[in-house]
Amino acid sequence: MGTAGNVQPKIVTGDAGYVLEDVPHLADYIPDLPTYPNPLQDNAAYSVVKQYFVNDDDSVAQKIVVHKSSPRGTHFRRAGPRQKVYFESDEVHACIVTCGGLCPGLNTVIREIVCGLNHMYGVNRVLGIAGGYRGFYSQNTISLTPKVVNDIHKRGGTILGTSRGGHDTSKIVDSIQDRGINQVYIIGGDGTQRGASVIFEEIQRRGLRVAVAGIPKTIDNDIPVIDKSFGFDTAVEEAQRAINAAHVESESIENGIGVVKLMGRYSGFIAMHATLASRDVDCCLIPESPFYLEGPGGLFEFIEKRLKENGHMVIVMAEGAGQELLSESMRSADRQDPSGNKLLQDVGLWISQKIRDHFSRSKRMGITLKYIDPTYMIRAVPSNASDNVYCTLLAQSAVHGAMAGYTGFTVGPVNGRHSYIPFYRIIERQNKVVITDRMWARLLSSTNQPSFLSPTDIIEDKKEEAPQSQLLNGENGRDDEALEKVISNTC
Ligand SMILES: Nc1ncnc2c1ncn2[C@@H]1O[C@H](COP(=O)(O)OP(=O)(O)O)[C@@H](O)[C@H]1O
Ligand SMILES: O=P(O)(O)OC[C@H]1O[C@](O)(COP(=O)(O)O)[C@@H](O)[C@@H]1O
Ligand SMILES: [Mg+2]
C-alpha cells in the first residue's frame, strides 16, 4: 500500500490574506495540451442559463464567519463547467470504481457520472471496475451506459461491488494505462481517497494524460472540509426506525431499557444526529466523548435516576464509543481489517451486559434491557430523495472537473458551494464531533444526560487552546487538539 503526501500544494495568494488551495491540472505537467469548446454551449437544456460556465476566478471560502479584521483565509476552486475542455467527447474513456464500506447513494453517483458524461459531454465509453481497487487488475470490467444504469439509484449497495484492501498502485496504474483510460472516477472514504492520491501521483510521475477525480463517500461523515457526506441523511433517517423500536420496547415494560448501537468508528455524527432527530433518546454515547460507568456522575447512576423519573430509557451509542473501557476490561488484541482499519469489539453487547450485571448486583431495581443492532440496515438501503439530488451534484461536478482537465481532486460542498479540494486536504485528518461546540451542547440539553466531563476542564482548555476565537465546527483542526486535551484530562 502506498502513502500519500508527495504532491506539492498549489497555493495562490491574493489581497487581504486571500489564499487559494488549488487543485492540480493536466497542463501542470503536460505542455501544449489542446483545448476544445465545451459542448454544453450547444446543449438546449443549458443554453437558457445565464452565466452557465463558471468563471475561472471563482473560489469558495472555507471560513464564512469572519470578523472586521479577519484575513480572507483559505479558498477552494469552485466546481462546475468550464468554457474550455481538455478532452474531445469521442476520445474520453472513463472508468468508475467504488471502494470501502457501503453507503446509501453509491449507485446514484455511478448513475449520474455515466449519464452526466453521456448527456452533457456525449461520452459513450465508460467502464465499471468491479470489486474495488483490486478489480483494476483482477476482475472483469462492466460496460456502463445510460441504459444499464437507468434504474440503479433505486437499489442499495453498489452495482460494481466493493472491497477493502488490495490497493496495488503500480498494478492499478498499469491497468489504467493498458486499457487506454483517461478519466478515473474513484468513489470512497478516507482510505479510498488516500489510494486515489497515490494513483494520481503515479499517473503524474508517468506523465499520463489521465484525470483522477475522487467522490467522497463515508456513512460516518468523517471526511473533513466538506459540509456533509452523501448517504449520511439517509442513514440517520433509517436509524430512527431502530430508535423507535427501542423506545416502544422500553416503554412497554417497567424499568425497560433500549440500547441501540449505530455506526461510527471514530466519529459519532450518526449517533448524535439520530439522537437529536428522535427526541426519544435519554443518553447518546460517542467516541469523542469519554464516559465512565461506576460511581457519582457515571452512566449507572444516570440510568437509575432516569428510570426512577420516567420508568424507561433509550441509550444510543456509536460503535466506537467507550472502546478504551472495553479493551481495558476484555484485554483484546488489536485487530485490523484488510484496509488497516481497527476492528472494534461490539460495545453494544458489552454495555448491555454491564448494565444487566450492575442492576442484578445492586438489587435496588429490576430492569429489562433490549439490545438492537441495526448496523448494516442503515447503510444497505437506497438513498433518500435529498441524498439522490446531492449525489447528482457531486457526480456532475466531478465530470465537469475532469473534462476541464483538473485532476488529483475530491469534489464536495464547502459552505453550500461545490468545490474542487486537493486530496491532501481530505486525507490529512478525520472529521469528528467537537464536544465543545454548540451542536453537542444541543444534544446534551435535549437528552439532559451528564457530560461526563468536569466543566472546569473544558473552560481551562478553551482558555489555553483558543484564545482569540471559538470555532464552531473545528474547521482548522485546532478544536481537535483541544478535544484531545479534554479527553486526556478526564480519563
Ligand atoms: N494509505 C492508503 N494508500 C493506498 N490505498 C489505501 C490506503 N488506505 C486505504 N486504501 C485502500 O482504499 C480502499 C478503501 O479503504 P477503506 O479504509 O476500506 O474504506 P474507506 O475508503 O471507506 O475509508 C481499500 O482498497 C484500501 O486498500
Ligand atoms: O463491516 P465492514 O463492512 O468492514 O464495515 C463496518 C464499518 O464501516 C463503516 O461504516 C465505515 O466505513 P468506511 O470508512 O468504508 O465508510 C464503519 O462505521 C463501520 O465500522
Ligand atoms: Mg474509512
Q: Is 263 annotated as a binding residue?
A: yes
How much is the pLDDT for 50?
A: 74
Helix (H, G, I), strand (E, B) or coil at 39: helix
Q: Per residue in 402-461, pLDDT tens?
A: 999 999 999 999 999 999 999 999 999 999 999 999 999 999 999 999 988 765 555 555
Is residue 220 annotated as a catalytic residue, yes or no? Answer: yes
Is ligand 1 within 6 A of the CB of residue 265? Answer: no
Atom of ligand 1 nearest to the CA of 217: 22
CA 224 to ligand 2 center in whole angstroms:
17
- From CA 240, how far away is CA 339, in angstroms rounded? 30
Whether the per-residue pLDDT at 189 is higher than 90: the answer is yes
How much is the pLDDT for 471?
A: 29
Radius of gyration of the chain (CA): 24
How much is the pLDDT for 251?
A: 97
How much is the pLDDT for 469?
A: 29
Is ligand 1 within 6 A of the CB of residue 100? Answer: yes
Query: Of 26, 33, 32, 86, nearest to 207 (Cα)?
Result: 26
What is the distance between the terminal CA atoms of the chain, rounded to a whole angstrom? 34
Place of cell 487552546: 465
CA 62 to chain centre: 17
Residues with CB under 6 A from ligand 2: 100-101, 189, 218-220, 263-265, 319, 337
- From CA 192, how far away is CA 133, in angstroms rounded? 9
| C-alpha triplet 251, 256, 260: angle, nearest 5° | 90
Whether the per-residue pLDDT at 316 is higher than 50: the answer is yes
Is ligand 1 within 6 A of the CB of residue 167? Answer: yes
CA 9 to ligand 1 center in whole angstroms:
22
Each residue of 231-259: b (16+ CB within 10 Å) or e?
A: bbbbbbbbbeebbebbbebbeeeebbbbb
- From CA 54, how far away is CA 479, in angstroms rounded? 34
How much is the pLDDT for 146?
A: 98
- From CA 487, how far away is CA 204, in angstroms rounded? 41
How much is the pLDDT for 461?
A: 52
How much is the pLDDT for 88?
A: 97
Mean pLDDT of the chain: 90
Mean pLDDT to the nearest integer, 359-381: 94
The fraction of the chain above a pLDDT of 90, given in percent, is: 82
Place of cell 499520463: 208
Ligand 1 binding pocket mutation candidate from 167, 184, 190 (most atoms within 8 A of CB): 167
CA 78 to ligand 1 center in whole angstroms:
27
Question: Interhelix angle for 385-403 vs 232-251, to 10°?
Answer: 160
How much is the pLDDT for 331?
A: 60
Is residue 335 very low, low, confident or very high in pLDDT (cuts 50, 70, 90)?
Answer: confident
Mean pLDDT to the nearest integer, 78-93: 97
Query: Of 252, 253, 304, nearest to 282 (Cα)?
Result: 304
Give the DSSP per-residue string, 208-224.
---EEEEEEB-TT---S
CA 351 to chain centre: 27
Question: Interhelix angle for 106-121 vs 385-403, to 10°?
Answer: 50
pTM, whole model, 2 decimals?
A: 0.92
How much is the pLDDT for 49?
A: 79
- In DSSP terms, 410 is beta-bridged to 214, 421
CA 308 to ligand 3 center in whole angstroms:
40
ipTM (interface pTM) = 0.97
Query: Of 74, 85, 86, nearest to 9 (Cα)?
Result: 74
Whether the per-residue pLDDT at 312 is higher than 60: the answer is yes
- From CA 27, how far away is CA 49, in angstroms rounded? 29
How much is the pLDDT for 139?
A: 81
Which of 58-72, 366-380, 466-480 is predicted least confidently? 466-480
Each residue of 338-371: b (16+ CB within 10 Å) or e?
A: ebebeebbebbebbbebbeebbeeeeeeebbbbb
Which residue's C-alpha comes closest to atom 7 of ligand 2?
Answer: 101
- From CA 96, how far away is CA 98, in angstroms rounded? 7
Helix (H, G, I), strand (E, B) or coil at 192: helix
Protein residues within 5 Å, CB atom, of ion ligand 3: 189-191
Mean pLDDT to the nearest integer, 160-189: 97
Is residue 65 very low, low, confident or very high in pLDDT (cuts 50, 70, 90)?
Answer: very high
Q: Which three cell numbers stand for residue 277?
A: 432527530
